[in-house]
Amino acid sequence: MVSVLAPALVVAGVAIILWLYGERWRPIRPSTLKFMKEAGLWRILSLSVLHSYFYGRWTNQYINLLVNHITPNLGDRGRRWLVDRYHGKVLTHEHARKIVTVKEDIHLNSLEKIIPYPIAKDLVLIAPPDIAFYECGCRHARKDHCHPTQVCMVIGQPFVDFVLEHNPHSSRRITQEEALRILQEEHERGHVHSAWFKDACLDRFYSICNCCKCCCGGIEAMVKHRAPMIASSGYVAEADSDLCTSCGSCMDSCPFDAISMGDGVSQISREMCMGCGVCVDRCQSGAIVLKRDESRGEPLDVGLLSA
């Protein structure tokens, strides 16, 4: 037993030293101390905070390993482990806008109906929210990726300070007005807004991603590898057969491959549709609308949930 534990303890000790002093042996940074304080002693002892450090400090390398090497080779148990620790919630464009413009502190004590994962806990938004614009690790993990690449929004403390301090060349603080403009531009590109939760990030919401189906690791995990990492917005798309012109633009734009063409009209799979609303704006004839579906969970609408 000693012979087995000794190498592990040495590796853990070296990792902790590197974590504490960072590159070039500089003292521990203020944002890391802030994260440690909020995480609490038990997380530090379980190395969850160390995990968060690697994720936030070397995001591109971390996600490249995850999407190109780990996720494609997971079995059923591995996929279950993954979705219990990395999970997102599709946001309609309206709900994404509400998050970045919240005007009062919001403390939500339960997310079970919003994020159906055992690790999801509290959503805490301090008004006005700190927002940092960050390079998308998923896009950088692809050889031929979509542009622009700086499309991820880190929201709230201590996450924003950590990203800005450890990645000063790939992140920047933005205002609410800039956040709204970026959300609108990404929406017009046909990209999906999603809120992300991660167990190592203090069991709560920490970012809004603007995902394209070409690059997003979460979408790929769902569609290609059958790992349900993303929860529905709480809505589903419905097509009006009388208005549909069979142009196919909705099918081409759907990030979740939920739309096909049959009998001359759009056929939308309620099971596969995540309610992102991309197809709604792509439909030139106005044949598609989003409708509330209570069986798909509660929307992440901070305006209603905080009331």
Q: What is the mean pLDDT of residues 187-197?
A: 92
Q: What is the pTM of this model?
A: 0.83
148 and 78 in one domain? yes
Among candidate residues 211, 230, 249, the one where a domain is terminated: 230
For residue 33, tell me if it sits in a domain: yes
What are the angstrom distances between the C-alpha of 161 and each of 32, 34, 58? 9, 9, 15
Overall domain count for the chain: 2
Instruction: Based on the fold, state whether residues 276 and 184 are members of the same structural domain.
Output: no
| Residue 164's pLDDT band (cuts 50, 70, 90) | very high
Based on the domain organization, do 222 and 269 belong to the same domain?
A: no
Sign of CA dihedral 108, 114, 115, 118: positive
Q: Are residues 243 and 107 in the same domain?
A: no
Does 189 share its domain with 153?
yes
User: Do residue 263 and residue 121 come from a single domain?
Assistant: no
Residue 305 falls inside a structural domain: no
What gap in Å lies between CA 158 and CA 206, rounded to an integer?
9
The predicted pLDDT at position 1 comes to 47
Lowest mean pLDDT among 12-21, 48-57, 280-289: 12-21
Do the Cβ atoms of 198 and 152 come closer than 8 Å?
Answer: no
**15 and 162 fall within a common domain:** yes
Domain boundary among 188, 210, 230: 230
Is there a single domain that holds both residue 151 and residue 119?
yes
Query: Are residues 59 and 205 located together in one domain of the fold?
Result: yes
Query: How many Cβ atoms sit within 10 Å of the Cβ of residue 73?
Result: 8
pLDDT digits (tens, 9 = 90+) for 235-279: 999 999 999 999 999 999 999 999 998 887 899 999 999 999 999
Residue 201 clears pLDDT 50, i.e. is over it = yes
- Residue 302: pLDDT band by 50, 70, 90 thresholds? confident
Question: In this structure, which amino acid lies at residue 161?
Answer: D
Report which secondary-structure segment, H or E, holds 194: strand 192-198
Q: Lowest-pLDDT range, 38-52, 78-92, 158-172, 192-206?
A: 38-52
Tell me the residue range of the domain where 248 lies: 235-296
- Whether cis (ω within 30° of 0) applies to the bond prior to 148 is yes
C-alpha separations of 283 from 102, 133, 173 in Å = 30, 30, 35
CATH of the domain at 263: 3.30.70.20
What tens digit of pLDDT does each residue of 50-60 get? 777 788 889 99
Between 26 and 92, the higher pLDDT residue: 92
Q: What is the mean pLDDT of residues 220-224?
A: 89
Same domain? 25 vs 160:
yes
β-bridge partners, 134: 152, 171
Is there a domain that residue 278 lies in?
yes
What is the SS3 assignment for 251?
helix
Asked if 244 contacts 265 with a C-beta cutoff of 8 angstroms, the reply is: yes
Strands 150-155 and 131-135: antiparallel
> CA 120 to CA 229: how far, in whole Å?
12
Instruction: Look at 105-109, 137-141, 180-184, 207-211 and tell me which has the smallest mean pLDDT.
Output: 105-109
H or E element at residue 61:
helix 59-65
246 and 118 housed in the same domain: no
In a domain, 307, yes or no: no
Q: 62 and 36: one domain? A: yes
The 3-state DSSP composition of the chain as helix, strand, coil percent (nearest 5) reads 40, 20, 40
302 located within any domain: no
Q: pLDDT tens digits for 46-82? A: 666 677 778 888 999 989 998 999 889 988 888 888 8
